[in-house]
Amino acid sequence: MEVERLDHIHIYVKDHEKAVQRFEELLGIKFVKLTDEVGQLGMGLKDAYSTIGIDILQALSPEHPVAKAIERSGEGLVGGVSFKVPDIEAGIAHLQSKGMKLLGRIHMGGIKEAWFHPKDAHNVLIELCEYKADNALEASRQKQL
């Protein structure tokens, strides 16, 4: 499997607006909301992304995987790490051949993502992403990959 780079990190929070405001204040960066509050997983999710690769997520349902992760581990870098790959299907096949359990996948705008169970990688959720744009924020706005 070829990995092009570390793409972004997920920060799970209880108060989305407060966290976005705090990171903008601390780092002098801006965030853009990628999804609506219905979210891509069928349950409520607030999501904001910065071009430097910080993704802030808040679950709006206690049943959402983000809420469950916060309940287990608290807020912060409990989400996972995303790696940009040129071929997500090859990446998925490779990680599965190494015993990684695929949790889910989406195709949103011009970006494809797949998540793997943290128990298979020392409690780190690994995400693969594939897109053709300069960054994931730009790719999320594109209609097709």
142 has a pLDDT exceeding 70: no
42 has a pLDDT exceeding 70: no
Tens digit of each residue's pLDDT (9 = 90 or more) over 70-129? 998 899 887 789 999 999 999 999 999 999 999 999 887 788 999 999 889 988 889 999
Of the two residues 143 and 66, the one the predictor is more confident about is: 66
| Overall fold of domain 5-141 | 2,3-Dihydroxybiphenyl 1,2-Dioxygenase; domain 1 (3.10.180)
Most distant CA pair in the chain, distance: 43
Q: In DSSP terms, which residues pair with 113 in a beta bridge?
A: 106, 129
Of the two residues 45 and 89, the one the predictor is more confident about is: 89
Specify the DSSP element, H or E, that contains 128: strand 126-130
pLDDT value at residue 144: 43
Which pTM does this prediction carry? 0.81
Among 90, 108, 107, smallest CA distance to 98 is for: 90
Query: How is the chain split into domains, by residue range?
Result: 5-141
Of the two residues 40 and 131, the one the predictor is more confident about is: 131
Contacts of 81 (CB under 8 A, 6+ apart): 6, 9, 10, 124, 125, 126, 127
pLDDT value at residue 41: 47
Identify whether the C-beta of residue 133 lies closer than 8 Å to the C-beta of residue 51: no
How buried is 38 (Cβ within 10 angstroms: 0-12 exposed, 13-18 middle, 19+ buried)? exposed
Q: How far apart are CA 29 and CA 126, in angstroms?
A: 25
